[in-house]
Amino acid sequence: MTNWKYALYRSTWSALDLLFPPVCGGCDKTGSRWCEECQSKVKILDGIVCDVCGLPQERVGTCKTCLADKPHFRMLRAWTVFENPIQKALHKLKYRKDMSMGDAIAYHMLPFVQKLNWQIDMIIPTPLGKQRIKQRGYNQVAMIAKPLSIGLQIEYDPHAITRKKETRTQVGLTKIERKKNVEGAFQAEASVKRKNIVVMDDVSTTGATLSSIAEALYQAGAENVYALTVARALQHHSLQTV
């Protein structure tokens, strides 16, 4: 069955490309928002990963870290590794107000999400704090989550999760500090009750923020909570720089 809503959404961005010639988010070449060369460089995380946190490992099953301290989400999956060209594309979306990258990333990420075969009812973007929304003007994760929801034909609710308190940026914090920083920071609305939900972020490092959100969703009555990110920072990336 043709997803006419998604076709209409994409055609709107295509029309804008005609008015404002696009530049690739990964290499700055003109003519495409995400060129074929940058597409070929994306390292998709589709190998053997931990059943829960989604980090690459040699054996099938749950990693030692998750066995010792299991996150609240049912499982976390990331599309690709957090390095260029996707790192540059996400930075353009997040810091340089290139909102068109949201649609471009979502379009190429969609087949990966479909193959996960999650039975989900709703997708929710990780909410920003009031100060960051004021500074940025928009939630960069929402620019990816919304077209994904249209492509997947599921409900999109950016208001289902709110921040109860402002938190400091996770950049530069250790794993323990990240977990403590977002502990009890989120509150879920009644609309999530008895629903299977995907909570989305742009990049995951330790998964602390997504786990805290999942905890709030379960407290509000969610049935199952999955976590999804565009990219994953692997161990060779320092927590001090991600």
Tokens for 104, please give them.
């471009």
* Mean pLDDT, residues 4-13 taken together: 94
Tokens for 158, please give them.
């950016």
* Mean pLDDT, residues 126-155 taken together: 93
For 86-124, how does the pLDDT look when each residue is reduced to its tens digit (9 = 90+)? Answer: 999 999 999 999 999 999 999 999 999 999 999 999 999
The mean pLDDT of the chain is 91
Domains and CATH numbers, the chain: 44-232 (3.40.50.2020)
Helix/strand/coil (H/E/C) assignment for every residue in the chain: CCCHHHHHHHHHHHHHHHHCCCECCCCCCECCCCCHHHHHHCCECCCCEECCCCCECCCCECCHHHHHCCCCCCEEEEEEECCCCHHHHHHHHHHCCCCHHHHHHHHHHHHHHHHHCCCCCEEEECCCCHHHHHHHCCCCCHHHHHHHHHHHCCEECCCCEEECCCCCCCCCCCHHHHHHHCCCCEEECHHHCCCEEEEEEEEECCCHHHHHHHHHHHHCCCCEEEEEEEEECCCCCCCCCC
Q: Residue 240's pLDDT is what?
A: 34
pLDDT above 50: residue 231: yes
For 38-56, how does the pLDDT look when each residue is reduced to its tens digit (9 = 90+)? Answer: 999 999 998 999 999 999 9
Which of these, 132, 185, 192, lies nearest to 159 by C-alpha position? 192
How far is 157 from 132, CA to CA, in rounded Å?
19
Percent of the chain with pLDDT over 90: 81
Tokens for 35, please give them.
């060129």
